[in-house]
Amino acid sequence: MQIASPQLSLKLSLTPAFSWSRFYVGANAELVSVLHHVVDTPQFVYLWGHFNVGKTHLLQATCQELLDHNHRAFYLSLKALKGCGPSVLEGLDRYDCLCLDDIHEVAGDAAWETALFSLYNDIQAHGKSLVVVSQHTPDAAGFKLPDLVSRLQSGMTYYVNPIAEDKYIDAIQYQAALYGFKLNTDVQHFLMTRTKRDIAHLAAIFKQLDQLSLVEQRRLTVPFLKKVLVF
């Protein structure tokens, strides 16, 4: 059965929490600015970084914003769909912006690499934009097709910076404010010493706290956090 509205289907499949308002920018201001204007002119943007620094969040926030402004955008995770084969890429060159997540997952697969190379060329020919995400730089992602590697190296490449240690308290306060929490010094110190230094973990903690504080109708204190949080 054919889906009547691919755009609506995509919009419903995006994670609502992966919005621009919920992304702590930190040291990533330049790349965030580029993504906000990714369809102003045809662009190829390559994002890379370590696990749980917000790469998927960035891709989905970009896609969501474009859809909200009536642009044709599409998000696809190659990690989730690599088992379906490279045919899933067919026809994606028609979107104003294509966002491909986890491209390193198909590195070394000749069929996938050929399909990605063709897709890149088609997107360029149609004057559209492409944003891809990997855990590695273009030359270290494991791709074997030389022409594809050269294409991946040709755009704007940005490292997605993790939260700096001296800015981690700012990130905690930012996430707290999203849920209307005001944290005292003891709670801030507790979270500083107990949480992982990645944005996904921090966001999950505050989502958990939001749900639990509503259920138990308690303000955030260190004894409450010790009782309810599972790190």
Give tens-digit pLDDT for 39-73.
Answer: 999 999 999 999 889 999 999 999 999 999 999 99
Paired with 45 in beta bridges are 131, 156
What's the CATH code, domain 6-159? Answer: 3.40.50.300
| pTM score, whole prediction | 0.87
Paired with 101 in beta bridges are 77
For residue 182, count other CB atoms closer than 10 A to its CB. 10
Among 10-14, 122-126, 127-131, the range scoring the smallest mean pLDDT is: 10-14
Higher pLDDT, 100 or 209: 100
Q: Is 123:93 a contact under the CB 8 Å cutoff?
A: yes
Domain boundary assignment for the chain: 6-159, 165-228
